[in-house]
Chain A
Amino acid sequence: MTDSSLTDTTLATESVAPNVKRATPELWGVAWRNIMRTSRRTWLTASGIAFAILLMSLMRSLQVGAFMGAVDNSARIMLGHIQLQHPGYEDDPTIENSIHGIDEIIADVESRPGVEVVSARAQSFALTSSGERSFGAQVIGVQHDKEVVWSSLTRMDVEGRYLQGPGEAFIGSALARNLGISVGDEMVILGTAIEGGVAALVAEVVGTYTSGQPELDRAIVQVSLQDFQSAWNLASDEAHIINVIAESVADSEQLAPQLGRAHVRSMNWRELQPEMVQMMELKLVGTYVLFILVAIIVIFSVVNSFMMIIFERTPEFGMLMAIGMRPHHIIIQLQIEALLVSLLGVFIGLVIAAVGIGILSETGIALPAQAEELTKSMAFPDRMYPVFSLSALYIAIPVMLLGTQFAALIPGLRLRHMHAVEALRAAE
Chain B
Amino acid sequence: MSDVVVTVRGATRTYNEETVPVHALRGVDMDVHRGDFVSLAGPSGSGKSTLLNLIGGLDRANEGDVVVDQVSLSELNENQLSDLRLEKIGFVFQAYNLLPVLTAEENVGFIMQLQGMSRSERSARARETLASVGLADLADRRPGDMSGGQQQRVAIARAIATRPVLLLADEPSANLDSGTTEELLELLKELNEEHGMTIVTATHDPMVMGYTSRKINLRDGAIVEES
Q: In the complex the two chains form, what is the Cα distance from A20 to B113 in whole Å?
A: 8
Q: Which of A4, A6, A315 contacts B95 (CB 8 A)?
A: A315
Q: Which of B25-33, B125-133, B204-212, B214-222 contacts A (4 or more CB under 8 A)?
A: B125-133
Q: Does A37 contact B (CB under 8 A)?
A: yes
CB within 8 Å for A324 and B86 given contacts A11-B195, A37-B100: yes
Is A18 touching B194 in the complex (CB atoms < 8 A)?
Answer: no
Chain B residue at minimal CB-CB distance from A36:
B101
CB within 8 Å for A23 and B114 given contacts A5-B194, A11-B163, A319-B97: yes
CB within 8 Å for A18 and B93 given contacts A7-B128, A33-B101, A37-B101: no
Is B119 touching A26 in the complex (CB atoms < 8 A)?
Answer: yes
Q: In the complex the two chains form, what is the Cα distance from A1 to B186 in whole Å?
A: 6
B residues 70-112 near A (Cβ < 8 Å) are 78-79, 82-87, 91, 93-95, 97, 99-102, 110-112
Q: In the complex the two chains form, what is the Cα distance from A13 to B86 in whole Å?
A: 14
Is B102 touching A33 in the complex (CB atoms < 8 A)?
Answer: yes
Q: Which of A4, A17, A36, A421 contacts B134 (CB 8 A)?
A: A4
CB within 8 Å for A322 and B160 given contacts A5-B190, A8-B195, A10-B128: no
A37 proximity list for chain B (CB < 8 A): 100-101
Is B114 touching A30 in the complex (CB atoms < 8 A)?
Answer: no
Q: Does B162 contact A (CB under 8 A)?
A: yes
Q: Does B59 contact A (CB under 8 A)?
A: yes
Q: In the complex the two chains form, what is the Cα distance from A6 to B14 in whole Å?
A: 40
A12 proximity list for chain B (CB < 8 A): 163
A15 proximity list for chain B (CB < 8 A): 87
Chain B residue at minimal CB-CB distance from A326:
B82
Mark contacts of A228-260 with chain B using CB atoms, 8 A cut-off: 1 yes-contact digit, 0 otherwise: 000000000000000000000000000000000
Chain B residue at minimal CB-CB distance from A9:
B128
B154 proximity list for chain A (CB < 8 A): none
A111 proximity list for chain B (CB < 8 A): none
Q: How large is the interface on B (under 10, 10 to 19, 20 to 34, 35 or more residues)?
A: 35 or more
A321 proximity list for chain B (CB < 8 A): 82
A23 proximity list for chain B (CB < 8 A): 113-116
Q: In the complex the two chains form, what is the Cα distance from A13 to B183 in whole Å?
A: 25
> In angstroms, how far is the closest chain B Cβ from the Cβ of A340?
13
Q: Does A343 contact B (CB under 8 A)?
A: no
A11 proximity list for chain B (CB < 8 A): 160, 163, 191, 195-197
Is A316 touching B102 in the complex (CB atoms < 8 A)?
Answer: no
Q: In the complex the two chains form, what is the Cα distance from A30 to B194 in whole Å?
A: 35
Chain B residue at minimal CB-CB distance from A15:
B87
Q: How large is the interface on A (under 10, 10 to 19, 20 to 34, 35 or more residues)?
A: 35 or more
Is B132 touching A18 in the complex (CB atoms < 8 A)?
Answer: no
Q: Does A420 contact B (CB under 8 A)?
A: yes
Q: In the complex the two chains form, what is the Cα distance from A34 to B190 in whole Å?
A: 35
Is A18 touching B119 in the complex (CB atoms < 8 A)?
Answer: no
Q: In the complex the two chains form, what is the Cα distance from A19 to B116 in whole Å?
A: 5
Is A323 touching B95 in the complex (CB atoms < 8 A)?
Answer: no
Q: Does A355 contact B (CB under 8 A)?
A: no
A residues 311-357 near B (Cβ < 8 Å) are 315-316, 318-319, 321-326, 329
Is B113 touching A26 in the complex (CB atoms < 8 A)?
Answer: yes
B residues 109-152 near A (Cβ < 8 Å) are 110-117, 119, 125, 128-129, 131-134, 136
Is A420 touching B87 in the complex (CB atoms < 8 A)?
Answer: no
Mark contacts of A90-127 with chain B using CB atoms, 8 A cut-off: 1 yes-contact digit, 0 otherwise: 00000000000000000000000000000000000000
Chain A residue at minimal CB-CB distance from B52:
A421
Mark contacts of B190-202 with chain A using CB atoms, 8 A cut-off: 1 yes-contact digit, 0 otherwise: 1100111100000
A428 proximity list for chain B (CB < 8 A): 94-95
Q: Which of A13, A33, A319 has the most CB of B within 10 A?
A: A319
Q: In the complex the two chains form, what is the Cα distance from A363 to B165 in whole Å?
A: 72
Q: Does A14 contact B (CB under 8 A)?
A: yes
Q: In the complex the two chains form, what is the Cα distance from A13 to B132 in whole Å?
A: 17
Is A421 touching B59 in the complex (CB atoms < 8 A)?
Answer: yes
A329 proximity list for chain B (CB < 8 A): 114
Chain A residue at minimal CB-CB distance from B191:
A6
B residues 12-58 near A (Cβ < 8 Å) are 53, 56, 58
Given contacts A6-B194, A326-B78, 5 further A-B contacts (CB under 8 A): A5-B190, A15-B87, A22-B116, A323-B114, A424-B95
